[in-house]
Amino acid sequence: MITRVLLLALGCAAVGWSVKRWRAAVQAAMLLLVFEGAIRKWLLPGAQDLVYFAKDALLLGAYAGYFRSRSRWPYPKAPVLYAGLAFAALLGLFQIFNPKLPNFLVGMLGFKAYFLYVPLLFVVPGVFRDDAELARFLKRYVLIVFPVVLLSVAQFFSPAGSILNTYAQPTDAGSISTFGSSKFVRTTGTFSYISGYTSYLLTTTILILIILTTTRWRFRGNLVVYAALGMVMLGIMMSGSRGPVFLLAVVFPVYWWLAVVRERQSSQTFVRLLLGVGLLVTGLTSAGDQAVTAFSQRASSEDVSSRLTFPFVSPAHMLPYAGLFGYGIGATHQAAATLTGGIQNPWLINVTPEAETGRVMLELGPLGFFTVYLVRLALAFFAFRQALRLRVLFHRAVAISALLFLLVQIPGGIIFDVTAGVYYWFLAGLVFLAVRLDRQAVLARSSVLAAPRPASPAAAAPVSLRGSG
């Protein structure tokens, strides 16, 4: 009890701090997102709910601090995206009062799941004031993967009953996911569950691609970044999740076209990319052969094709049950039962699908489903346009890499997987940030070109733009 009171007091102080230091608060929330699961599992298991909402408190304070500051800037033109977001939010508010919901709190929980992290789209562009700040954040953030995956390695070689192999909710050794008949467990790293861990690994891959694309996959100065990419691949193997590997393979042609073929020095970049990937695969198969073997056995299981197609067919299966307005926002949320005294919604027995696409259809009905996925399509299209239009290589790299994540998450899970949801809107905000920084770079270049020439050559200072194309 004393621990919970102290945590609540600390949380209130953190909210006040995040209002004043909203830029630092957003970055602190992104850091907490990585280690929140470890705190819940091992440090404060008796206060899991408070720890779970800690990042939300930081972000809410940061939102308040941002919107009361003078740091707002003209947002790019994206009328379809803005209209879709506004209509989806209104529809979400309406759905809170859906009579099929067990109670009002379930609707509030659902609204939070859908919309709490959307403001990152508008706040993140103000968090980083220039290219240097963003580059420093990216390089530091991807380095976090080393301790996270090293913990994953320890989990992989530990028995299922080890204290290292536990989920946020207490379970016995028999409930820990393994690689089928193999003795090895599917690891979670510092995260509460496998889904959050794989979302983190996929996002880290995207952030690493920003760095490597900007430097055109050069080895000099990027050895640590290459090592981080190798750790990510090792972490994916040990998680046993096939989704990230398949999704990266699907969107690789998009990356190859935008980040290699359309850029200068494309042939040299492609050769470095192939060499880098080849070295990573060689190192992975030699250093992590047991993980690769366990992963390949799981990847060849019979349910692969059905799991890949299920997100696309699930909405059609759920449409007859959903009706016009669905069961209400939050009706299928995994935490809804805690707000109803453990009583299941009687309408959802034997109906709730696994794929998020089907759950959105079941909760919001066809109109809500269309609006939610219209926003995702509009956001991906906006990022694609910026990948073609931005002038500076660093900014194009941000847009291209973020586009990959936005594409794979169109049928993905960003509502009921909190980790994926935070990263989705954070990366979308990075695209908006890239637009702002690119405008500033173009204006700065124009002002320099328009300035009168100095009287002597010695007075002329060289002009350079970080990551310019």
Q: Per-residue confidence of the chain (469 residues) as pLDDT tens digits? A: 777 888 888 888 989 999 999 999 999 999 999 999 999 999 988 888 889 999 999 999 999 999 888 777 788 999 999 999 999 999 999 999 999 998 899 999 999 999 999 999 999 999 999 999 999 999 999 999 999 999 999 999 999 889 999 888 766 666 788 886 667 899 999 999 999 999 999 999 999 999 999 999 999 999 999 999 999 999 999 998 888 888 888 999 999 999 999 888 888 888 988 888 888 888 777 766 788 877 877 776 656 667 778 888 999 999 999 989 999 999 999 888 888 776 666 666 667 778 999 999 999 999 999 999 999 999 999 999 999 999 999 999 999 999 999 999 999 999 999 999 999 999 999 999 999 999 999 888 877 766 666 554 444 343 333 444 4
Q: What is the pLDDT of residue 107?
A: 95
- Give the model's pLDDT for residue 350: 67
As a three-state string, the secondary structure of the chain is CHHHHHHHHHHHHHHHHHHHCHHHHHHHHHHHHHHHHHHHHHHCHHHHHHHHCHHHHHHHHHHHHHHCCCCCCCCCCCHHHHHHHHHHHHHHHHHCCCCCCCCHHHHHHHHHHHHCCCCHHHHHHHHCCCHHHHHHHHHHHHHCHHHHHHHHHHHHCCCCCCCCCCCCCCCCHHHCCECCCCCCECCCCCCCCHHHHHHHHHHHHHHHHHHHHHCCCCCCCCHHHHHHHHHHHHHHHHHCCCHHHHHHHHHHHHHHHHHHHCCCCHHHHHHHHHHHHHHHHHHHHHHCHHHHHHHHHHHCCCCHHHHHHHHHHHHHHHHHHHCCCCCCCCCCCCCHHHHCCCCCCHHHCCCCCCCHHHHHHHHHHHHHHHHHHHHHHHHHHHHHHHHHHCCEHHHHHHHHHHHHHHHHCCCCCCCCCHHHHHHHHHHHHHHHHHHHHHHHHHHHHHHHHHCCCCCCHHHCCCCCCCCEC
